[in-house]
């Protein structure tokens, strides 16, 4: 158990309550430990904490347009790597052709988020249909393949040497955010049985220790006659998530945690009412989340805290500097011009720093660091 230095301190002109009723003409900045769960201090500044006029050095906010990625191949192992560390690998896979082989990830659980398209998943546990907005959690070393009905774009998040689990629901109970009854799993239905009996040779491409292995079977290894247990592939659509809300207090991103893994969490931002209390902050607060790197994949909608960000883009805010809403978004929140959000986004908070893979020219917006500058 960690025993932080914690005792109440107040200096100067402050709000009595975080994220509410800020002193006139000030901008609040949260400095915290362990994401939003450790000790924290709220600073009140005369100027926006992101109001830099210049930036030099490699540690900077970054943005990537995955719509500009072109990928050959029809296997998830052809996916373009984006970000990685020892706990986590993030890739984007565009696919328009059904797989003629099986794959198996021996390095960790895999999370697929379906940004575009639909199809069928065939795996050790059976068959399951999927479509836009679905999360699919594949336990480590599951054999699987996809049959494509509409061209796919998938965000792939590998829990390297780890597992995906439920987030702790705490006081709100196990049915909050989403009822576990909404989780779907593959079935040994007629479609699965029909494909299992097709004659011929099948290959399984096994990724293990970041090396590829090819295993050949003289039959289809997806041939289960039955199974029983509590380990399986699960599916959840973002539309089945019912977010925690407060009309008087802007909740931190951790309140929207969907899955927990070793060394990182996945949060889902879905449409919700915007805070209506006159004194409550109505956009994400400026913060130094100095123990986590923050990654956001923008799926659809109007991304109310960001400017010039489109669906299919990814931002990376590494720990070590203040980040928060863009100037226009902050101004819109202060004037309460909107009463609800319509954005859908996937956020990854990583405990260890993330490395950026080498990407083709034009994918990264190198001017993103300047997007917080106030235009004269």
- The confidence score (pLDDT) of residue 46 equals 93
Averaged over 303-324, what is the pLDDT? Answer: 86
Q: Where are the domains of the chain?
A: 27-63+243-372, 71-238
H, E, C per residue of 359-371: CCCCCECCCHHHH
> For residue 204, how many C-alpha atoms fall within 13 Å in the half-sphere facing its CB?
20
pLDDT in tens, 226-262: 999 999 999 999 999 999 988 988 888 888 999 999 9
DSSP summary character for residue 230: S
CATH 2.40.10.120 is the classification of domain 27-63+243-372 = no
Residue 42 tokens read as: 């709220």
pTM score, two decimals?
Answer: 0.93
Confidence of residue 285 (pLDDT cuts 50, 70, 90): confident
Averaged over 74-82, what is the pLDDT? Answer: 94
Q: Tell me, yes or no, if the two domains 27-63+243-372 and 71-238 fold the same way.
A: yes
The set of residues, in sequence order, having a beta carbon less than 8 Å from that of 179 and lying 6+ positions away, is 240
Select 71-238's CATH number: 3.40.50.720, 2.60.120.10, 3.50.50.60, 3.40.50.2300: 2.60.120.10
- The confidence score (pLDDT) of residue 376 equals 54
The set of residues, in sequence order, having a beta carbon less than 8 Å from that of 60 and lying 6+ positions away, is 318, 321, 369
Residues contributing to the annotated binding site: 287, 293, 323
Q: Which residues are designated catalytic?
A: 250
- The confidence score (pLDDT) of residue 290 equals 80
Residues contributing to the annotated binding site for Fe cation: 287, 293, 323
pLDDT in tens, 84-109: 999 999 999 999 999 999 999 999 99
């Amino acid at each position: 158990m960690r025993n932080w230095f914690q005792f109440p301190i107040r200096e100067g002109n402050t709000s009595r309550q975080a994220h509410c009723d800020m002193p006139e003409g000030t901008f609040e900045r949260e400095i915290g430990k362990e994401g939003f769960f450790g000790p924290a201090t709220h600073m009140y500044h005369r100027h926006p904490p992101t109001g830099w006029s210049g930036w030099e050095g490699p540690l900077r906010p970054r943005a990537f347009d995955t719509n500009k990625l072109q990928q050959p191949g029809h296997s998830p192992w052809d996916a373009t790597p984006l970000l990685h560390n020892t706990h986590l690998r993030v890739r984007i896979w565009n696919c328009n052709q059904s797989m003629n082989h099986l794959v198996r990830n021996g390095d960790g659980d895999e999370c697929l988020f379906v940004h575009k398209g639909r199809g069928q998943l065939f795996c050790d546990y059976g068959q399951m249909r999927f479509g836009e907005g679905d999360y699919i959690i594949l336990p480590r070393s599951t054999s699987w393949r996809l049959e494509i009905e509409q061209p796919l774009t998938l965000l792939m998040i590998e829990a390297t040497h780890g597992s995906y689990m439920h987030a702790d629901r705490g006081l709100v109970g196990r049915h909050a955010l989403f009822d576990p009854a909404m989780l779907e799993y593959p079935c040994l239905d007629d479609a699965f049985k029909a494909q299992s009996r097709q004659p011929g040779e099948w290959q399984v491409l096994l990724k293990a220790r970041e090396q590829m292995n090819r295993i050949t079977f003289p039959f289809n290894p997806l041939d289960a006659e039955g199974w029983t247990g509590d380990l399986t592939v699960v599916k959840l659509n973002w539309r089945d998530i019912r977010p925690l809300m407060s009309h008087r207090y802007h909740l931190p991103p951790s309140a929207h945690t969907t899955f927990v893994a070793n060394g990182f969490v996945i949060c889902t931002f879905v449409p919700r009412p915007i805070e209506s209390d006159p004194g409550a902050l109505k956009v994400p607060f400026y913060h130094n989340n100095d123990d986590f790197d923050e990654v956001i994949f923008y799926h659809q909608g109007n991304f109310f805290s960001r400017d010039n960000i489109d669906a299919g883009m990814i931002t990376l805010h590494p720990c070590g500097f203040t980040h928060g809403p863009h100037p226009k978004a902050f101004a819109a929140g202060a004037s309460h011009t909107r009463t609800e959000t319509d954005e859908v986004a996937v956020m990854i908070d990583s405990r260890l720093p993330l490395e950026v893979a080498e990407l083709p020219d034009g994918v990264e917006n190198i001017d993103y660091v300047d997007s917080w500058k106030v235009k004269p």
